[in-house]
Every structure is written in structure tokens, then in C-alpha cells.
Amino acid sequence: MKKVGLALLGAGTIGSGVLKVLKENGEMIKNREGLEIEVRRILVRDKNKKRNIPVDPDLLTDKPEEIFLDESIDVIAEFMGGEMPAFQYIRDALRQGKSVITANKEVIAKHWDELEDEARKSGAGLYFEASVAGGIPIIKSVRRSLQANNILKFMGIINGTTNFILTRMSEEGRDFADVLAEAQRLGYAEPDPTADVEGYDARYKLSILSTICFRNRVAVDNIYCEGITKISADDIEYARQLGFGIKLLAIAKKQNGKIEARVHPTFIPLSHPLYAVRDSYNAIYIEGDMVGNLMFYGRGAGDLPTASALVSDIVTACQNEGAHHRTRLDEEAVAFEKDWKDEYYLRLVVSDKPGVLAEIAGILGRHNVSLDSVMQKLRGNDKATLIFITHEAHEDWINGALTEMRSHPSVISVESVIRVER
């Protein structure tokens, strides 16, 4: 039986989840894994705050040095959130040779090179399964079970909060702010939910996952990112009438030596398997050159699913001292594709006059954009809504057409521009 001293950095939603898992299943883990995990310190901001679950007050500290100077602590698990001071604490722990388990996608995505380097130098382990897709064991699966493949592309829903919001807005007609507040109450959202709704959280996760899948560093700056804050109830309704639903997708491809990585709201057919992924669930399709298509599905956010991934990493860290599994990146330089093609949904409000539809279609045609479908709705007050689904077009073509449309005398506003994936 091995006894391990653990320190937790954070006791919020996820920290409480880890404490619950260790309380409920700690004895089972002890018996099955031969490992007794003892929580010896918990770092928080405010020791007097009321906690979600009972916590021994003697374990709580607001002084990080009480953890970093404590020799009885072997392993450190971080779930404070935010870039600083979490990054500094993770780096300092690795420098001390203590393995770190973290749920912090922002820190891993932004500081991958430095942290992997510190871990390599000291021989400590750095584990971050919980940073991508909550309870889904996607990082372990790619690293340990798909080594025989070149991964060509993957695509998925990797933010639970936005999937919860889009599901409830489309199924219940509820208001964005109201559903976001519920996602916060349920513990899905980031400490600052801007990271969820603006797509930054999904972008951090995509950076980590594409670095691991493609064996090339995919920095956050190389990922196109657009959140869901501009999606309106009208877009959701028009999407439905056209046979689509709206999801925040993360898409990554490696082809001809170039990587394309992007996060944006996307129209997908109602029959698409990703449309069936509801609420805080996540799903990721991966295409490998040998295995073909795989799909991973499960809870992408919340205390217990995330704690499941964290406690698994804690067990692995305790069992793997000195034998850590790192992703060896390819040495050849890779370029990033910025000029991809997509189909687009466009929604405009125009003056309701004869010939306007033909003139707008003409603008699109002059910019090489051909049309898949067109819908017109009268709005009253001599206005009409025009909705187009285009065929595949380069972003430049669409932007050129949009610039011309915006200065057309009959166009009152361009309300929405959303990409479409079949």
C-alpha cells in the first residue's frame, strides 16, 4: 500500500467534486489501486467562506507557502482557474519535482512549452485530462490508444456551457442570459463565463487537443475564434425552418502540411449526430488514417464528471513517478491554414421593394458566391428578411460581398453570418 500526500489548490465547484469522489470512492481506489490518497492541505482565497461540502477547517489555508514548504505533500492538484497565479504555482511545483494534476486549460494552452520543459527537467509529471471535455478521457485515448494513427481531423462540441445555452434556447425558447445564469448555478461555467460564451474556453481546449492529435504546437493565436453571443432566437428559428440546428463547434484538420483550427457557431443538419449532443454533454469525432472514425461522448462540465478525470490523473501521477507520458512533438515546421472554405448562412433586413432579392443575389454572384437556398419573410413596415444558404465560399469572397451589401441602399442591416457544416 502506497500512501500519498495530496494538496488541492482550490475548493470551488471542481475542488468540492474531487473531495466528494475521494470521500465516496477513496476506499475502493485504495483497495483496487493499492494507493491511499490523503488530502493534507487545501488552498483557497477565503478560509471563512461557506463550502458546498463539509471540509476540515484545519486543512484550509490561504497561504501558498504553507503548501510549497510542506514536505509531506507529494502531489499537487490545481483547480483554481485563471492564468495567474495558477501558472506560477504549477511551474513552482514542477520545479520542486512534485507532479501536478490540473483542470486549467488556459494555463496549459498558453504555457505548454514552458511547463512541459519544467516537467522534463525535474522528472515530475504534468497531467491535464480534465482540461479538455470534462469527464471524457480524450487525452489519454489519443496519447495511449491512437499512436498507430495519423490523426487527420477532429470536430466536436467541447464547451458544456454554450451547448447547454444553445440547447435550452432552441428547445425551450429561453433567453440567453437566463440560461447562462442556470449554467453558472449548475457549476458548468468558468469563474468568468465570458470565456465560455466568447469561445475562448473552447479555443484553449482546441489548442491542447490539436497539439496532442497533430504532434505540432497549435498555439491559441493560430486558432480562429468566435463565440455565441450574437446568436439570436431568430437565427435558431430560421435554422430550424431550413433543417439545421446551431452548435458551437471546434474543428481541426491537418492536410498538405497545414493545420486549420477554428471555433465558431455552426449550422449543422438536424440529422447530424452532433445535433443530438444536448445540454452540458460534449462529443468529439476523430478521424485517424488507420482506425477510421471514432466518436467520444460524455459530460463535458460539472463537478463529478470533471473530478472523475482529475482523480484518475491523481492515481496515474501517484503510480507513475519518473515514467511520465509526454507528447513528443514533430520537429518539422507546420503552416497554419487561414483561408478555408465554408458554406454560409446570411440573414439580412432589406427594404421590401421589387428587384431587391435579385440585386443581393447579384452581389453574391459577382463575388463568386453561389446559392444553395433562399428564403424571404415579410416583416411589415416595408421591410423584409432575406435568408441565404450559400455553397462553399472563401471567407474573402463572403467578406467582399458583405461589404458591398452593407453599402447597398436597400440593405437596412446584415443581421447574421454563420458558417454551415454538413
Helix 200-214 and helix 105-122, axial crossing angle in degrees, nearest 10: 40
Residue 248 as a binder of ligand HSE (CB under 6 A): the answer is: no
Considering only 10, 12, 17, 160, the residue that binds ligand HSE (CB under 6 A) is 160
Measured from the CB atom, the residue of 15 and 134 that comes closer to ligand HSE is 134
Helix 395-406 and helix 356-366, axial crossing angle in degrees, nearest 10: 140
Residue 151 has which C-alpha cell? 490523426
Look at strands 258-269 and 224-225 and give their pairing. parallel
What are the angstrom distances between the C-alpha of 55 and each of 3, 12, 45, 204, 299? 21, 11, 15, 31, 26
Taking a C-beta distance cutoff of 8 angstroms, is the pair 76, 9 a contact?
Answer: yes
Residue nearest to ligand HSE (CB): 161
What are the angstrom distances between the C-alpha of 178 and each of 168, 174, 199? 10, 7, 19
Measured from the CB atom, the residue of 193 and 288 that comes closer to ligand HSE is 193
Taking a C-beta distance cutoff of 8 angstroms, is the pair 100, 94 a contact?
Answer: yes
Q: Count residues near ligand HSE (CB under 6 A).
A: 11
Neighbours of 19 (CB within 10 A): 24
Phi then psi dihedrals of residue 145, to 5 deg? -120, -5
Phi then psi dihedrals of residue 390, to 5 deg? -90, 170
Is 105 annotated as catalytic? no
97: CB partners within 8 A, 6+ apart: 122, 123, 124
Considering only 99, 104, 159, 316, the residue that binds ligand HSE (CB under 6 A) is 159
Q: Which does 135 bind (CB under 5 to 8 A by kind): ligand HSE, ligand NAP, none?
A: none
The DSSP string of 365-384 is HHTT--EEEEEEEEEETTEE
Q: Which does 196 bind (CB under 5 to 8 A by kind): ligand HSE, ligand NAP, none?
A: ligand HSE
Answer positive or negative: Cα dihedral of 74, 80, 81, 85. negative
Distance (Å, whole) CA 109 – CA 219 = 7
Measured from the CB atom, the residue of 99 and 306 that comes closer to ligand NAP is 306
Q: Which candidate, 319, 247, 236, 228, places its Cα nearest to that of 29? A: 319
Measured from the CB atom, the residue of 199 and 300 that comes closer to ligand HSE is 300
Measured from the CB atom, the residue of 159 and 390 that comes closer to ligand HSE is 159
Residues that bind ligand NAP (CB under 6 A): 10-15, 43-46, 49, 79-81, 85, 103-105, 130, 134, 187-188, 190-191, 301-302, 306
Q: Given the residues 98, 153, 205, 247, select the one marked as catalytic.
A: 205
Q: Which does 4 bind (CB under 5 to 8 A by kind): ligand HSE, ligand NAP, none?
A: none
Shortest Å, Cβ 329 to ligand NAP: 24
Residue 300 as a binder of ligand HSE (CB under 6 A): the answer is: yes
Measured from the CB atom, the residue of 9 and 356 that comes closer to ligand HSE is 9
Shortest Å, Cβ 46 to ligand NAP: 4
Neighbours of 105 (CB within 10 A): 27
The amino acid at residue 54 is: P
Q: Which does 46 bind (CB under 5 to 8 A by kind): ligand HSE, ligand NAP, none?
A: ligand NAP
Shortest Å, Cβ 234 to ligand HSE: 25
Shortest Å, Cβ 112 to ligand HSE: 17
Shortest Å, Cβ 10 to ligand NAP: 3
Q: Which does 400 bind (CB under 5 to 8 A by kind): ligand NAP, ligand HSE, none?
A: none
Measured from the CB atom, the residue of 131 and 216 that comes closer to ligand NAP is 131
Q: Which does 159 bind (CB under 5 to 8 A by kind): ligand HSE, ligand NAP, none?
A: ligand HSE
DSSP annotation of 145 reads I
Shortest Å, Cβ 166 to ligand NAP: 17
| 42, β-bridge pairs | 8, 60
What track of x and - describes contact with ligand HSE for positions 164 through 203 (by CB under 6 A)? ------------------------xxx-----x----x--
| 373, β-bridge pairs | 389
User: Which residues form the interface with ligand HSE (CB under 6 A)?
Assistant: 134, 159-161, 188-190, 196, 201, 300-301
Active-site residue numbers?
A: 205
